[in-house]
Amino acid sequence: MLLAGLLLVSLIGTIAGATDASATAPTWIATTWLETGASSAQHPSSWGISCDGNVVVMGVHWQNWGANEADGHGTIAIAGPCNPSCSTAPSYRYPVRVVASQIALCGSAGHTRQIYGRITEYLSRPDIRGDRQFTQTLQSCVQPQVVLGSSVFAQPYGEGWGSSRPSLISNGGDPSGHVWHIHWSSWGGPAAFGTGLTAIFKPGGGYYNQLVRIQLKATDVGRCTANGPLAYQQLWVREPSRPGGPLASWFPWAGGASATLCK
């Protein structure tokens, strides 16, 4: 029997919502455990977390599916000691809370999809072996290298483009084309959100002496070139019109709704 901290999960039994990878819709809430032979699934109700089938999660009902973390509740069945044989071993059942997290993007160009890269089962009390938690990680796709646009964007003086989670982006010119001290969340998902500091114009000309808070939203994951890395191809931002003022509407950083960060 595999203990806590298992790597790779094998879906077994009946999986609610099991579907072919090309038919899952909408893909932004799709979870796919890409072990060889495994089905793709949305909100699976049961799966095994040991190679011998001695640890099985079943009857899971999900909430917040598609969010950064999805929560489920069900039952975990754990076989007792195989003495004298596994076929006669008793089965112990415990209430379990399941958390699916670490949203990532997997696949090849034109066939990328969102998955939950980690699933963790929390038992309500220690099991027969003293364990209270199991974790499975999808090794093949967790934490893909998604970058922001292309390195050729805003060249020759731009900064931050074509890198993952940049803390600074710059078009290489006026201060209003810079964002400093960026902190990102949901990186690798269908949209990544960031906050940072930028400079804004005064109504009469020039810049305010005080930097202001700016929000960023990176979207449209794809590839700028056929063999390039996965990249957010669009960036939306919003900022106040004066220091301390409310944030205005979102507008595209690249200069137009159809413009991208690829060139």
Domain boundaries, the chain: 27-137, 147-252
Over the stretch 100-119, which tens digit does the pLDDT of each residue have? 887 766 655 455 667 777 78
Question: When comparing pLDDT for 63 and 145, which is higher?
Answer: 63
Highest average pLDDT, of 123-127, 234-238, 255-259, comes from: 234-238
Give the phi and the psi of residue 176 in degrees, each rounded to 5.
Answer: -70, -10
Lookup: tokens for 246: 């409310």
Q: For residues 2 and 55, is the Cβ–Cβ distance under 8 A? A: yes
Q: How far apart are CA 222 and CA 99, in angstroms?
A: 28
Give the phi and the psi of residue 86 in degrees, each rounded to 5.
Answer: -70, -30
Question: When comparing pLDDT for 242 and 109, which is higher?
Answer: 242
Mean pLDDT across the stretch 242-258? Answer: 90
Q: How far apart are CA 159 and CA 178, in angstroms?
A: 9
pLDDT greater than 60 at residue 47:
yes
Q: How far apart are CA 261 and CA 161, in angstroms?
A: 8
Over the stretch 112-165, which tens digit does the pLDDT of each residue have? 667 777 788 999 888 777 778 888 776 555 445 789 999 999 989 999 999 989
Give the phi and the psi of residue 119 in degrees, each rounded to 5.
Answer: -130, 130
User: What confidence category does residue 238 fall into, taking pLDDT thresholds of 50, 70 and 90?
Assistant: very high
Lookup: tokens for 9: 């999960």
User: What confidence category does residue 227 fall into, taking pLDDT thresholds of 50, 70 and 90?
Assistant: confident
SS3 110: coil
Q: How far apart are CA 206 and CA 65, in angstroms?
A: 47
- Closest CA relative to residue 76, chosen from 124, 31, 137, 25: 124
Lookup: tokens for 117: 């890269």
Question: When comparing pLDDT for 41 and 55, which is higher?
Answer: 55
pLDDT greater than 90 at residue 247:
yes
Q: What percent of the chain has pLDDT over 90?
A: 40
